[in-house]
């Protein structure tokens, strides 16, 4: 049975191009979240590496189930007795030149309980600012949600946030995770609006751990890691810089909101 009231944390990072340093930084922030009472902790996208070049993530790819990044996540979850949503890890794909951008989830014993591979790959052009994740990432094709002691959890990654049909495929879930590395340009314009919309339309909590600052590769990410309730209210937010935001989740609030506004039950298209 799911716990009724508990604390959740979103970890914000400014990851660099040295994986060992990033893992050490993530370890300290996870420990801080645990000290603050969080039972469920989320890391941001690319927590282990924001490379100097797009291909750097391919050079540190790991086989599914084996590698130092996966070992770190498992050990951190077990050490602190928390459930850990591990941002993203570059896992080997069938294409040797690309990786799967995978969100791996571990329980409080350090056992992996879920894997979600990012489905929608970011592409953006604005003058000199250009991104094309498809050159180094192979897209996933399966939505993932699981039962946990904290209700039903649904998973998405960064650019997925712009595709509401993904979240409709997950619904109903109690908590949606959105580990991200939104650019400063797109984040300033759309990040908060999209996150609050996903919470409101799915009547679910949203936990969005983000990259937030100027990275060693000179890329700027928007930050503003947030925890949002099912009514769209922001419970906690960190604007920029590394740190942790913590908020209390009450699953009874999910039930109350859904009883008073049964929008999920009123769906007719795609239901």
> Residues with catalytic annotation?
45, 118, 158
Separation between Cα atoms, residue 71 and residue 94, nearest integer Å: 22
User: Please, are residues 137 and 118 in contact by the beta-carbon 8 Å criterion?
Assistant: yes
Instruction: Work out whether strand 5-12 and strand 38-42 pair parallel, antiparallel, or are unpaired.
Output: parallel
Q: Does residue 102 sit in helix, strand or coil?
A: strand
| Residue in this structure with the two tokens 């291909």, named with its chain if needed | 55
Antiparallel, parallel or unpaired: β 5-12 and 83-85: unpaired
Name the token pair of 62. 């790991």
Contact present, 263 and 208 (Cβ < 8 Å):
no
């Amino acid at each position: 049975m799911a716990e009724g009231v508990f604390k959740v944390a979103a970890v914000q990072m400014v990851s660099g191009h040295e994986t060992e340093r990033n893992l050490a930084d993530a370890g300290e922030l996870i420990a801080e979240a645990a000290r603050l009472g969080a039972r469920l902790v989320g890391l941001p996208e690319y927590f282990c590496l924001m490379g100097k070049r797009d291909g750097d993530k391919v050079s540190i790819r790991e086989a599914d189930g084996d590698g130092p990044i996966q070992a770190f996540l498992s050990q951190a979850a077990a050490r602190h007795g928390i459930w850990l949503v591990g941002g993203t890890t570059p896992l080997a794909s069938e294409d040797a030149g690309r990786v799967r951008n995978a969100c791996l989830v571990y329980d409080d014993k350090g056992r992996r309980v879920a894997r979600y591979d990012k489905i929608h790959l970011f592409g953006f052009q604005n003058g000199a600012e250009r991104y094309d994740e498809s050159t180094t990432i192979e897209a996933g094709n399966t939505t993932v949600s699981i039962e946990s002691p904290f209700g039903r959890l649904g998973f998405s990654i960064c650019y997925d946030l712009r595709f509401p049909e993904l979240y409709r495929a997950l619904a109903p879930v109690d908590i949606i995770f959105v580990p991200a590395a939104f650019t400063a340009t797109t984040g300033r314009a759309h990040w908060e609006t999209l996150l609050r919309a996903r919470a409101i339309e799915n009547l679910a909590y949203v936990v969005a751990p983000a990259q937030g600052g100027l990275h060693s590769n000179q890329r700027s990410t928007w930050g503003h890691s947030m925890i949002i309730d099912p009514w769209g209210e922001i419970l906690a937010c960190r604007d920029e810089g590394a740190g942790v935001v913590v908020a209390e989740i009450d699953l009874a609030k999910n039930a109350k909101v859904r009883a008073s506004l049964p929008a999920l039950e009123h769906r007719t298209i795609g239901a």
